[in-house]
Amino acid sequence: MSDDPLGFSTRAIRAASRTPAVRQRPTSVPIYQTATFASEDAEQLGDVVGDPWAGYSYSRLSNPTTQALGNAYAELAGGEAGYAFASGMAAIHASLASLLHDGERVVASAALYGSTRAQLTGYFGRFGVTTELVDVTDHEAVARALAAAPTRVLYAETSANPTTFLADHRALSALAHEHGATYLVDNTFASTYVCRPLELGADLVLESATKYLGGHSDLMAGVVAGPHGLVAKVARAQVDTGGTLGPFEAFLVLRGLLTLAVRMDRHAANALALAAWLERQGGVQRVYYPGLPSHPQRAIAERQLRPGNGGGMLSFELAGGRAAGGAVIDALRLTELTASLGSVHTMVVHPPSTSQRQLSEAELIESGITPGLLRVSVGLEDVPDLIADFEQALAAARAAAAVPAGV
């Protein structure tokens, strides 16, 4: 029996909470699976509660593993600071909430992820924020929209979801700053390996780390990077609204970053091969992939994206409309029937039914989304297997829509 005068429960709590001293540096960031951190005294506790960058008190405010992810993303994205969130949408919300007040205005891309568009026009719209949607590939239209009224935020996606139309960050950031707006970029489709918007003039860049950064469809997370002052405001919005990333998910994203370059090179090689093959197929009206010479913003891709890497996302239009799109998806055998992207698995979705399901038919057309458009997140499978699978699926679509093979 122990001579310790404390009771068993008291001793058990103290014994099981005592952390070992580690003098050797771990080669992976440890998972700090704890909600709370003990301070040395009351003054230190006050300091770390008041400033999440000064230390740790409560994991909703800051956690070493999630902070390591924010720091790593900032370093890779070229930002002074970074912060991690529970999802990409949480990162978008906190970024916008840190910048917008009642009565302010946003100019955003019309070709925008459906939930982002709904957040801007719906949720922020409830609080007096107005949003004008424009074609950000038309710089004259963007300039007119910015000049029409004071604008707080210009919002764009590096590669539009799902059309892959590219935003010219140098031109758009210059227009935003000329009119006193903050330029905010969603870089999810590209990843920080393929494009670094901060180096091209963006004020804040964010990504859904659920996608390429994690890379395996086994986590949800979001990240933001930029100047320390702006990121601190974004972090405060997260602290107050609670989009907190858990340390285990942060660890998984950090692990994903280790192989991001290798995976993105394979994603891009597979996507280019599949896109080039699709361009030659009957029943396919048009293929959109930044690595193709036929892409509408090919010149921007050459200036703005990593040389030789157009990313892993493509889309293509089928002659048979919705019926043909559904037939392709149902006939594919290798792809995962799921609504996400940026994974080792190839994923094919019909945007009007999934990522842009919130939009009306008129809004879909405004966003450049036709009834027969399919979005493909090209995975890491072997190219011959992918092409063979799409070949038989397109044959099924032609049969479903009665489209001749030579069309």
Active-site residue identified among 117, 211, 263, 306: 211
Which residues share a beta bridge with 405? none
The question of whether 41 is a catalytic residue gets the answer: no
The question of whether 211 is a catalytic residue gets the answer: yes
CA distance 372 to 396: 14
CA distance 171 to 154: 12
Which residues, in sequence order, are CB contacts of 82 under 8 Å at separation 6+?
69, 70, 71, 72, 73, 74, 75, 223, 224, 225, 231
Active-site residue identified among 73, 113, 193, 288: 113
Give the Cβ contact number of residue 150 at 10 Å: 12
Active-site residue identified among 73, 135, 155, 186: 186
- Residue 165 DSSP code: P
Which residues, in sequence order, are CB contacts of 369 under 8 Å at separation 6+?
111, 162, 163, 351, 352, 356, 359
The question of whether 168 is a catalytic residue gets the answer: no
Which residues, in sequence order, are CB contacts of 280 under 8 Å at separation 6+?
none
Active-site residue identified among 60, 233, 236, 286: 60
The question of whether 60 is a catalytic residue gets the answer: yes
CB environment 210-241: b (16+ within 10 A), e (fewer): bbbbbbebebbbbbbbbeeebbbbbbbbbbee
Compute CA 260 distance to the chain's CA centroid, rounded to the nearest angstrom.
Answer: 14
Which residues share a beta bridge with 374? 316
Cα-flanking dihedrals φ and ψ of residue 400, to 5°?
A: -65, -35
Residues annotated as catalytic (active site), given as ranges: 60, 113, 186, 211
